[in-house]
Amino acid sequence: MINQDPTVDSIDQQNQDAYDDLIVSIQASFGRLNILIAVCDDLEFRSGIIKRYETEVEPDIRCYRTTLARDEPSLRSALDDLAEKEEYLHNHNNQAVITVIGAEKLLPIKFHEYDDQTELEKFFGYLQWTREALRHHPFSIVLWLTYSLSEKVIRKAPDFWSWRAGVFRFLSKVNKVTPSAETLIPIEDFFENNNQSQEYFLPLPDLLALIEQIEASGNNSDAMLASLYIQASNIYSKELNLAIEYLTKAINIQNKIGSDSELIISLEKIAALYKSQGQYIEAESILIQIVEITKRIFGEDHPDYIKSLNNLALLYYSQKKYTDASVLLINALETALTVLGEHHPNTLIISKNLNTIENR
């Protein structure tokens, strides 16, 4: 059992279920690439989980670890370098699990004027175009990300994300959470920022042709199709009805396959689109749904749940429903003070939003 390790004391059933599913996924793979995404914000807790599954699967499955290089944060390069050093990995009939860490250390800033990308931008770019090159590593690959990074990979490397065999989310109950460096967005900025069009990877005619081809084939490509619908909605960001149409299709698939993290992002986007058209009833219904989903997945002591309360309050604020907005922000602030502390940027922003309402 995972809770035998002192670094993972007080593990709850949700974490135990995620761990059990991860073990099954590692053990079920043989002779093929098996991309597994593990998500955790608490690095000490993560270390205990890694140690536990490595102990459990050995000696039947050989365990390796590798760290992404800051100057060249390529998953492919990290795996190639490891395989070059380890003769055992040359035999594709052998069983192995390779744990990849270090993504959380990549920075979103440029250190030199001549740098064309940040470390994080390089990482996402490599991921998006690397999956075919990973085929010659027919082993289980466990890529560890933070919650914030996992959401960014969904948006910025959808092709890679569609190849995942599973996503396993862990939340430390001992140290609560390691708060993300990102902050919640103030009342006046949320919808504008959330409604910005995202990057896409195919010309529109090719993208629509590919969507039509996959729809007609009837193949089991739900995750890929949802990713393509989202790309189409991004391209149609100025044609709101089309953007909503494609996002709705993506949401229907994400609901079907239980892709909760992707679903939350898509729901936030479509809520922003509805709000921009003055369709407040539709936007409110969706933001309430996000509150319910984040509460179910993460519980009430998680930054994503706090954020969902804040975002719903933003909509009420824009409609001058100040009492409704105030109730949500008071709840969010009480939780943020407990989970994040009074000096955390998210706590300060929620406090600022509440003061804005009370002093209007």
- What's the pTM? 0.53
Task: Please tell me the distance from the alpha carbon of residue 94 to that of residue 356, in angstroms, as a whole number.
Answer: 61
The 10s digit of each residue's pLDDT in 134-176 is 878 889 999 999 887 887 888 888 888 888 888 998 986 544 4
The answer to whether 67 and 31 are in contact (CB under 8 A) is no
Which residues have C-beta within 8 Å of that of residue 174, sequence separation ≥ 6?
Answer: 9, 10, 42, 45
Q: What is the CATH number of domain 190-358?
A: 1.25.40.10
Q: One digit per residue, pLDDT tens: the chain, 360 residues?
A: 444 443 444 457 778 988 999 999 998 877 788 999 999 888 889 999 999 999 999 989 999 999 999 888 999 999 999 999 999 999 888 899 999 999 988 876 555 555 677 888 889 988 887 766 787 888 999 999 988 788 788 888 888 888 888 899 898 654 443 334 343 344 334 444 444 444 445 677 877 888 888 888 766 567 778 888 888 888 887 788 888 999 999 999 988 887 788 888 889 889 988 888 888 899 999 999 999 999 998 888 888 889 899 989 988 888 888 899 999 999 999 998 998 888 777 788 888 888 888 877
**What are the DSSP calls for 208-272, one per residue?**
HHHHHHHHHH--S-HHHHHHHHHHHHHHTTTSHHHHHHHHHHHHHHHHHHT-HHHHHHHHHHHHH
Structure tokens at 191: 């919808």
Structure tokens at 111: 């250190």
CATH fold of 2-169, please? Rossmann fold (3.40.50)
In the chain, CATH 1.25.40.10 sits at 190-358
- From the list 99, 207, 201, 103, the residue with the least C-alpha distance to 157 is 201
Q: Where are the beta strands (DSSP E) in the chain?
A: 34-39, 62-67, 96-101, 140-145, 166-169
- From the list 303, 298, 304, 358, the residue with the least C-alpha distance to 330 is 358
The continuous run of DSSP H or E covering 52 comes out as helix 43-57
Q: What is the dihedral of CA 126, 132, 135, 139, to 10 degrees?
A: 50
The residue type of 302 is: H
- From the list 280, 269, 31, 217, the residue with the least C-alpha distance to 136 is 31
